[in-house]
């Protein structure tokens, strides 16, 4: 995970970022209700800051399955996180 602000938001120390395996374990063991609550809270904050009106707000958080090596965490893809190398 190479996003310090996201690490901090999720309760991780941004200077000692968790491994990909540990973060994946965290995602698997965390209830989807928690993430839904975070999503609702963030949308309400955006409405408080008037960044969005909330009148026409649609969020889609569904994953899109693709047959690429980079999506399979069990394989060793060297360029998995290289933004210059598309999957």
pLDDT of residue 3: 73
Mean pLDDT of 50-77: 70
pLDDT at 1 over 60: no
pLDDT at 68 over 70: no
pLDDT at 16 over 70: yes
pLDDT of residue 33: 92
Give the rounded percent of residues in the chain with a pLDDT score beyond 90. Answer: 9
Mean pLDDT of 42-69: 77
Q: What is the DSSP string of 7-72?
A: HHHTT--TTSPPPHHHHHHHHHHS-HHHHHHHHHHHHHHHHHTTS--STT------------GGG-
């Amino acid at each position: 995970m190479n996003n310090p602000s996201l690490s901090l938001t999720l309760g991780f120390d941004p200077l000692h970022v968790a491994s990909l395996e540990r973060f994946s374990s965290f995602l698997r063991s965390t209830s989807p209700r928690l993430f839904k609550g975070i999503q609702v809270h963030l949308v309400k904050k955006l409405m408080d800051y008037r960044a969005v009106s909330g009148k026409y707000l649609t969020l889609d958080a569904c994953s899109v399955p693709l047959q690429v090596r980079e999506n399979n965490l069990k394989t060793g893809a060297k360029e998995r996180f290289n933004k210059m190398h598309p999957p």
